[in-house]
Structure 1
Amino acid sequence: MLEHRTSNLTGLLLPLADRNLILPNVAVAELIDYQPGAFDLDSPPWYLGLVTWRDRQIPLLSFESACGNNTVIGDRARIVVLNALGGRPHLKFIALLVQGIPRSYKLDSQLSYVDVPLCSLEHAAVQVAEHVAKVPDMLALEELLVGAGLVPQ
């Protein structure tokens, strides 16, 4: 008799102003309190400046703004520090503005895909409990920073 096995993964649901993102736990380094970043006025609207984390300066992004919507900094704003995946020596972490505390969910290999519009920084949309969550393209986020000249290649 064959046993049906599914692979389990723990994901974090990141609440944004206009959507939820889902990432594996291992993609998230830490959740920190909101702090305004230092930036130039000629920066792209999605770039919220550099924030300090563990004696490092890391770029803070608004995912909503990178997808063409407005940046919202609400009462429950926090920053999620993400591990960069591109292997660039000058970009080890990216900070992402979130609206509240991420929640942990058990995910399995049987995720249900949802047919909704996606922005260019999203791979897919999936059903996570009662939420529709978008799967962000982390490498595209890194390319956005490099392409705008905000971090060295």
Structure 2
Amino acid sequence: MSQLGTLSQTTLLSATTGSLPGYLLPVWQKMLMVPSTTVLDFVPANHLTPIKKKKDGYLGTVEWQEKSIPVFSFETLNKGSKVPEPQTIAIFHAISIGDKVAEYGIALQAAAEQIKIKISELEDIEKAQVGPMEFMQVRFREDLAYIPDLDALEARILSLV
């Protein structure tokens, strides 16, 4: 399991004495909750250069800091359906695939919300159905959020690039 940026049990437990900065990322019909250490930047989706034939959630590339960054649809990678065109793109720091893909983008449907996460504010939704790219579902401030399984997500991304 990767050490940087995942919301592992250890990371969540460390949040009991303080707070962990993070983001709520609006993907199609759900929110992803990630620590801020995983997200490097946000860019407008109109900077996306689509690939000719979209395959398995690979949408195209975006230029970021003079590099071409691959952009993906979380929902499609998570075995979901096709989604509307993205509004913004979150640039992620690759945790487990940094040697081949140092950064990657996830398409968002709206602007991200910066949050402070404390374990006392999270309620684990036991036995909640989650997709293959999701670690767990939680209730945060009365709303549902999904914590992505970044290791699984990055393994899937690596298989596509």
Pick from 102, 115, 119: which aligns with 1:92? 102
Q: What secondary structure, in the 3-state scheme, does the structure 1 residue paired with 2:68 have? A: strand
2:8 is matched with which residue? Answer: none
- Give me the TM-score of the superposition, normalised by structure 1: 0.84
3-state SS of the aligned residue for 1:105?
Answer: strand
Shift of 1:86: 0.8
RMSD: 1.6
Contact 1:46-1:71 within 8 A present in 2 as well = no
Give the match's secondary structure for 2:51: coil
Please point out which of 147, 156, 159 is paired with 1:147: 159
Query: Which of 47, 51, 57 lines up with 2:58 in the alignment?
Result: 47
For structure 1, the 5+ residue unaligned runs are none
Cα deviation, residue 87, structure 1: 4.6
* Correspondence for 2:150 among 138, 143, 149: 138
CA contact under 8 A between 2:97 and 2:155: conserved in structure 1? no
SS in 1 for 2:49: coil
Task: Tell me how far apart the structure 1 counterparts of residues 158 and 75 of structure 2 sit (CA, whole Å).
Answer: 18
CA drift at 1:47: 0.5
Alpha-carbon distance in 1 for matches of 2:111, 2:31: 12
Q: 1:117 aligns with which of 86, 109, 129?
A: 129
Structure 2 unaligned regions, length at least 5: 1-15
- Judge conservation of contact 2:57–2:74 (CA < 8 Å) in 1: yes
Which residue matches 1:27? Answer: 38
Cα deviation code 1:84-136 (max 9, x no counterpart):
10153221111010011111222112321124310000000111213211011
Q: Is the radius of gyration larger for structure 1 or structure 2?
A: 1
Secondary structure at 1:39's aligned position in 2?
strand
What CA distance in whole angstroms lies between the structure 2 residues aligned with 1:40 and 1:140? 26
The structural deviation recorded for 1:16 is 1.1
Aligned to 1:71: 83
Contact residue 7 and residue 109 of structure 1 kept, 8 A: no
Length, aligned pairs only: 142
Moved more, 127-136 or 31-40: 31-40
Specify the code of the residue in structure 2 equivalent to 1:17.
W
Once the two structures are superposed, what CA deviation does each residue of 1:20-79 show, in whole Å capped at 9, x if it has no partner?
A: 0000111110011112334241x42310012111110111000011122212215xx100
- Whether the 8 Å contact between 1:48 and 1:61 is mirrored in structure 2 is yes
Match of 1:126 in 2: 138
2:10 maps to: none
* Identical amino acids, percent of aligned pairs: 24
Looking at structure 1, the residues matched to 97 and 75 of structure 2 have their Cα atoms a distance apart, in angstroms, of 25
